[in-house]
Structure 1
Amino acid sequence: MKDLANKLRELNIGSVKENEPLANHTSMKIGGPADILIEPSSIENLRKAVEVIKDSGVEWTVIGRGSNLLVSDKGIEGVVIKLGSGLDDLEIDGTRVTAGGGLSLVNFAITISRKGLSGLEFAGGIPGSIGGAVYMNAGAHGSDISQILEKAYVLFEDGSLEWLANKEMKFSYRTSVLQKERPGVVVGAIFQLQEGNKDEIVADLQKNKDYRKETQPYNFPSCGSVFRNPLPNYAGNLIEKSGLKGHQIGGAQISELHANFIVNKGNAKAEDVLGLIQHVKDTVLDLHGVKMETEVEIIGRK
């Protein structure tokens, strides 16, 4: 790994760190080390890095802002590529907006709202990156990414880069073609928005942000919603009706404010969170006959 790290440094592709704790890079503040963590400074440098990593035969994983992620206590083997400050560009051309995969979704929504562009008001307060939001078709308040995305620039497992149109993304509830059918990572996206009244757009965005702050546990680290809503049911409601609010294993607790959140009360381990996830699955299935599926992505060494 040392040789690979040195090769990546010689390419001057961006930040390269060894044995970097991934707890520093996830909103849950949980996760063991990455053998190597790189943060490419551009898409071209990302391409160069992937070529070198592939040639070395080392496994690689891509993360964004770590807001919908649970990383194993044993960390992640190989190279972790973080899409961050080098891929956070933003270009506005009328109602057509191009954004880098590493750009904060919150910052993106705020910027375009102040330009009088409508379509992302639902994203007020939603953490994470553009890449992650497109990958999982993030949404709220009756809207989602699929309604405004024109196309996504995707890095596939073989290292190739390709533009996928909205239809090719095969969006559905909190899913896209990239999760199972064609595994890939969004490194950029183009959105088609609409002109609107700036004051109304900004107000709607703020209203949605305030609602999230009132109903979700912002005072503790979390990974956001843990379970997908098993429609027509809601995950938080089922968990609450099962009497599991406040249930705790180690440093991890099912939030007392919103039952579909697991919070880190201090020094929680991934195994604590996994224990709570399994307990919720077992209890809800037993009491309500509903099979719960996770929305959070669980990765890393077993």
Structure 2
Amino acid sequence: MNSNILQDLKQMIPSDIIKVDEPLKKYTYTETGGIADFYISPKRYEDVQQVVKYAYDNEIPVTYLGNGSNIIIRDGGIRGIVLSLLELNHIQSSDANIIAGSGAAIIDVSRKARDLSLTGLEFACGIPGSVGGAVYMNAGAYGGEIKDVIDYARVIDEKGNMIQLTHNELALDYRNSIIQSEHYVVLEATFTLAPGKQEDIQAVMDDLTERRESKQPLEYPSCGSVFRRPPGHFAGKLIQDAQLQGHRVGGVEVSKKHAGFMVNVDHGTATDYENLIKHVQQVVKEKFDVNLEREVRIIGESLDETSTEG
């Protein structure tokens, strides 16, 4: 079956962008994850469309991957096709607008805005995600969110049709968007910013960078902030008050520097991450009667599922 799919793919798209049985831990910030049956990294929108249409017509699952910063891929890997969008990384400008491909780092977009003396994206100067991921989850930090600056996004639906969504049509909310519910894939986004003074923009970015580096455990692999902010609480404070900092499962532990992070300190696995997340949720629920919801996405198959499939 996989050999037939490979033949079909090679007839549609350049063969050098197709990898078979590719280890996904190479592409995640946690440095965990099993293999992908097919890992494809298109450089053109047309290739993305071709692959998505083919997968839809042949009932092959497709998983989209940005830069892997806020995701845990299970140790059993991902069946079907993994579409990496990192090659779609152009950043262009027109007046007060910046048009960025899905695979561009949102940090780089914020720096481009600074270089053009455009204000509004300073909050994103330390967000490690891609533009596509940032739109997908309406990423935010230090009082700013993607919904504050995005004008529209170009996306592809499950059938491979290209659609342009306006700010309102994106339905951006706290760590949520229509991209998630409709299973769209972001190709590019346009941000509308305001003229500002470069030195003022740089000063804000320097301040936010210092605050981030002093508080977050950037020296270890991690998936970023693990939990959403519970109403009336802060996830990190609850975890800290539950005395869970430093608690370890396998090679993954709750960061001693920031309780909202879980870091891979000793060759941890995705299973270690999942088990630690469940433990933290259980303890916080028992101690404070607060349900911690994951912000990090967990996808793929466990090793048990892979082995039972043979």
**TM-score tier after normalising by the smaller chain length:** over 0.9
Look up the match of 2:183. Answer: 183
Q: Does 1:193 align with 2:189?
A: no
How far the C-alpha of 1:106 sits from its partner, in A, is: 1.1
| Cα deviation code 1:234-272 (max 9, x no counterpart) | 111111011100100000111000111111112111111
Q: Does 1:43 align with 2:49?
A: no
CA contact (8 A) 1:43 1:187 kept: yes
Look up the match of 2:300. Answer: 300
Range with bigger deviation, 6-15 or 274-283: 6-15
CA contact (8 A) 2:253 2:264 kept: yes
How far the C-alpha of 1:10 sits from its partner, in A, is: 3.2
Look up the match of 2:210. Answer: 210
How far the C-alpha of 1:209 sits from its partner, in A, is: 1.8
- What SS does structure 2 have at the residue aligned with 1:178? helix
- What SS does structure 2 have at the residue aligned with 1:6? helix
Cα RMSD, aligned residues only: 1.2
State the identity %.
Answer: 37
AA partner of residue 17 (structure 1): K
Aligned counterparts of 2:148 and 2:198: Cα–Cα separation in 1? 20
How far the C-alpha of 1:189 sits from its partner, in A, is: 0.6
CA contact (8 A) 2:53 2:159 kept: no
CA contact (8 A) 1:123 1:208 kept: no
- What SS does structure 2 have at the residue aligned with 1:99? strand
Look up the match of 1:248. Answer: 248
Uncovered stretches (5+) of structure 2, i.e. residues with no partner: 303-310
Look up the match of 1:264. Answer: 264
- What SS does structure 2 have at the residue aligned with 1:190? strand
How far the C-alpha of 1:55 sits from its partner, in A, is: 3.1
The number of equivalent residue pairs is 300
Alignment of 1:1-302 (within 5 A): 1-13=2-14, 15-85=17-87, 87-180=88-181, 182-302=182-302
- What SS does structure 1 have at the residue aligned with 2:256? coil
CA contact (8 A) 1:100 1:187 kept: yes
How far the C-alpha of 1:183 sits from its partner, in A, is: 2.1
How far the C-alpha of 1:2 sits from its partner, in A, is: 2.3
Q: Name the TM-score, length of structure 1 as normaliser.
A: 0.96
How far the C-alpha of 1:159 sits from its partner, in A, is: 2.2
Aligned counterparts of 1:67 and 1:5: Cα–Cα separation in 2? 28
How far the C-alpha of 1:157 sits from its partner, in A, is: 2.1
Aligned counterparts of 2:233 and 2:66: Cα–Cα separation in 1? 29
How far the C-alpha of 1:288 sits from its partner, in A, is: 0.7
Uncovered stretches (5+) of structure 1, i.e. residues with no partner: none
Look up the match of 2:306. Answer: none
Q: Name the TM-score, length of structure 2 as normaliser.
A: 0.94
How far the C-alpha of 1:153 sits from its partner, in A, is: 1.2
| Cα deviation code 1:14-47 (max 9, x no counterpart) | 6110000100011110100000000001111111
AA partner of residue 60 (structure 2): V
AA partner of residue 96 (structure 1): N
